[in-house]
Amino acid sequence: MENYVNTPDMACETVPAPKQAGLSRIGLIVPSSNTTMETELPELFRRQAEATGHKYTFHSARAGMKNVNREELLAMVAKAADCAAAISDANVDAIAYACLVAVMAQGPNAHTGSEESIAQAAAENGHPAAVTSSAGALVRTLQEMGVRKIAMVTPYMKPLTQMVREYIEGAGIEVLDAVSLEVADNLAVGRLDPQNLPQIARDLQHEGAEAIVLSACVQMPSLPAVQLVEDELGLPVITAATATTYEILKVLGHKPSISGAGSLLSGAPVKLPTGI
């Protein structure tokens, strides 16, 4: 039998490999039943790549969660650090914790602690990465836009929608109206038709609102409707997915250049309504 000697050249990796120019790797931590975040984000970044020439790849870790209830959401949270360590093995440049309501279920401003925990797990694994979360991205993006009042759509049961409402209002943003589609099964949420969202948005009580949150959930498909609703209502429209995309681009130092997904990602200044 041939003998092998473990030389420095053959040793397991002990330091992160150098980053490849013109390419960014994005890690996603998603619920095991999520079917939307890994389709909408790659599509958004495909448009970004088409406009800028910079390329992006996606690398996911899944945490068990089938039904959108408090018990399963909190159980998922406990797995986030392990998922972060696993993703960081791919030497990603940024990690997005892509379950908005799992973070919000922990209480006010919980995104800060969740993001710190994920960043620590990646760093301790030898692959530090910038970290955002869908919960943090949504509230920070609204704050950065200067939005004080919104109307929003969620797929959740009413108690969870109320929890999301209170979380957002705890960040200083008033929720004038919130529609609950009351779908408990997370796979069923992913099958909702985004073509129904324009009518749902029309029915929102949005007088006085400065922006519409068309999907306060990373699992509810919304991308095909974002630009349609923004053009029709004349208000900035964001979703958990577009806010997460915005923050990933921000931490990477890349200017948004994405078409057909609302003014937030277009690269142009977002104009809020005046006279409210």
Determine whether 83 is an active site residue: no
Exposed/middle/buried for residue 93 (C-beta within 10 Å: 0-12, 13-18, 19+): buried
99 is in an annotated binding site: yes
Exposed/middle/buried for residue 218 (C-beta within 10 Å: 0-12, 13-18, 19+): buried
For 45-48, the CB contacts below 8 A with 24+ separation are 45/245, 47/257, 47/258, 47/259, 47/260, 47/261, 48/249, 48/254, 48/256, 48/257, 48/258
48 is in an annotated binding site: no
C-alpha to C-alpha distance for 234 and 256, rounded to whole angstroms = 21
Radius of gyration of the chain (CA): 19
Catalytic residue from among 99, 138, 139, 220? 99
Decide if 101 contacts 164 (C-beta within 8 A): yes
Catalytic residue from among 217, 229, 235, 261? 217
* Amino acid occupying residue 170: G
DSSP character at residue 109: T
196 is in an annotated binding site: no
C-alpha to C-alpha distance for 180 and 178, rounded to whole angstroms = 7
101 is in an annotated binding site: yes
In angstroms, the Cα distances linking 208 to 7, 47, 87, 244 are: 68, 32, 42, 25
Determine whether 12 is an active site residue: no
Structure tokens at 131: 């970290």
214 is in an annotated binding site: no
34 is in an annotated binding site: yes
Binding residues for substrate: 34, 99-101, 156, 186, 218-219
Binding residues: 34, 99-101, 156, 186, 218-219
Active site (catalytic) residues: 99, 217
